[in-house]
Chains A and B, each alone.
Chain A
Amino acid sequence: MNYNFHWRPVMKALPELLEAALLTLQVAALSMVLGVLIGLGLSLIRMHMKGPVRWLATTWVELARNTPALFQLFFFGFGLGAVGVHLTPYLIVLIALTFNNAGYLAENFRGGFKAVPDTQIRASRSLGMTAFQAYTRIVIPQVLRIVYYPMTNQMVWAVLISSLGMLVGFRELSGETQFFASKTFRIFEYFAITAVIYYVIVKIILGAASLLSKRLFRY
């Protein structure tokens, strides 16, 4: 091997990279919050409604699950751009991630709702709870536990695919890395450090999720 590694410039850029990592975390977390809310809505629509609304929800879920995330990103970037809707890179990534998360989470939620017996609703209603109360107080807390682990995985997945932001000019962790790498041609060094940062982020998310689950689910 006749290649000289140069790590010093990479180390100098570390503060900037870490700052970009925070942006990665931010966009991933935000897309998860939105994805959970929309995914919940999509799964409820698919279970309880008929007609065009249900058809739209099903289309969303199947498109999100059966096309590449990168394709989805290009669609919200170049595709919308072609019809005159020019979004900022941040919004492109946020919307694409949210679209993807919501589709996958909707399927998880559907499985979760199926796993809570109908008799739980019947018992709640017999106590005088409204349908809304029965859902929010009894069914959804149980569903959240069932989908907690898949949700954690989805959060990891959101962080990983936010890296595609670099292909639409978004300066999250990967985009920032590419920016530095292309200035200095030290591509390998920069991306190696970034790989380590991603690894650490993923471990932190998984660690935090398992700590949180111990607090949340005592039963």
Chain B
Amino acid sequence: METTSRFFSGFTPNDLWFLAEAAGRTLWISILSIGFGTVLGVFFGWALSVTKTAGTLTIAPILDIFRSVPLIIQLVLFFNFAPMIGLRLSPFDAGVIILTIYTAALVSNVARAGIEAVGMPMRRSARSLGMSYWQDMRYVVWPIGLRAVFPSWIGVALGVMKDSALVSVLGYVELLKASQILITRTQDTLLILAIAGAFYFALSYPISLYASKLEERWSQ
């Protein structure tokens, strides 16, 4: 009896709304970063596939750094570095910038794999039909490559969505930070963690399910 009364005294419907709003912010920062990061990453992936050695020696190692250093370290470093060069950034700005570069680093690999998935013979035959380079890219490489790597891209996007929880470290009140604030106030630790987890799960699981269905269908 005591536990249940404590359960409801702390946590109110308003708090649920507070968490839902925070989940919205998680979604918003994810969409921005994944959007910008994908555009940038596809560009890098294309650049890597056309420049070959030059790209492998220049862009590739830089992108590699963002895949080899923990995201939390990247966030802390950038957030502390920005003021040194006179940038006044909010936690949100810093979060979007780092998540975008992080996404781009991951997507560049996926994009390169997609372009390389389209074999040279197929591309030669496209060119032999009189297609220009960009027509070949648009009508041959894009649809075939996209199909080959779309499930991996969804994997990257979902990963970034989950990793956006780390922006809480800079003080941005996204879903996980909001749940921490509530826990401190209400002490209903398990209930609030369960709700936060449920929000994440609801954002991620349907998409991952869709991706694996798609992969299964396409692999046949």
Contact B208 A164 (CB under 8 A): no
Interface centre among B65, B74, B80 (most CB of A within 10 A): B80
Contact B70 A198 (CB under 8 A): yes
Q: What residue of chain B has the Cβ atom nearest to residue A194's Cβ?
A: B73
Known interface pairs A174-B72, A199-B68; A67-B189 also in contact (CB < 8 Å): no
B 59-87 contacts with A by CB, 8 A = 65, 68-74, 76-77, 80-81, 84-86
Contact B165 A70 (CB under 8 A): yes
Q: What residue of chain B has the Cβ atom nearest to residue A62's Cβ?
A: B205
Does A144 have its Cβ within 8 Å of any Cβ on chain B? no
A 148-168 contacts with B by CB, 8 A = 156, 160-161, 163-164, 166-167
Interchain CB contact (< 8 A) of A78 among B77, B162, B163, B183: B183
Interface size on B, residues (CB 8 A): 37
Task: Tell me the minimal C-beta distance from A162 to chain B in angstroms.
Answer: 8
B-side interface mostly: helix
Contact A199 B70 (CB under 8 A): no
Interface centre among B70, B163, B176 (most CB of A within 10 A): B70
Q: What residue of chain A has the Cβ atom nearest to residue B201's Cβ?
A: A66
Q: Which residues of A contact B168 (CB under 8 A)?
A: 70
Contact A79 B189 (CB under 8 A): yes
Contact B200 A66 (CB under 8 A): yes
Contact A203 B68 (CB under 8 A): yes
Contact B69 A195 (CB under 8 A): yes
Task: Tell me the minimal C-beta distance from B111 to chain A in angstroms.
Answer: 18
- Seen from chain B, the residues whose Cβ lies within 8 Å of a Cβ on chain A are 65, 68-74, 76-77, 80-81, 84-86, 158, 162-166, 168-169, 176, 180, 183, 187, 189-190, 193, 196-197, 200-201, 204-205, 208
Sort A-B residue pairs by CB-CB distance and give the 10 closest, nearest first.
A82-B189, A163-B70, A68-B165, A66-B204, A68-B162, A202-B68, A3-B84, A160-B70, A195-B69, A67-B200
Given contacts A82-B187, A191-B76, 16 further A-B pairs with CB under 8 A are A1-B84, A63-B197, A65-B208, A66-B208, A67-B197, A68-B200, A71-B193, A71-B196, A81-B189, A156-B68, A160-B71, A167-B169, A195-B74, A195-B77, A198-B70, A198-B73
A-B contact pairs, 28 of them (CB 8 A): A3-B84, A66-B158, A66-B162, A66-B205, A67-B200, A67-B201, A67-B204, A68-B166, A68-B176, A68-B200, A70-B165, A71-B165, A71-B196, A71-B197, A71-B200, A74-B176, A78-B193, A160-B70, A161-B70, A163-B72, A174-B73, A187-B80, A188-B77, A188-B80, A188-B81, A191-B73, A195-B74, A195-B77
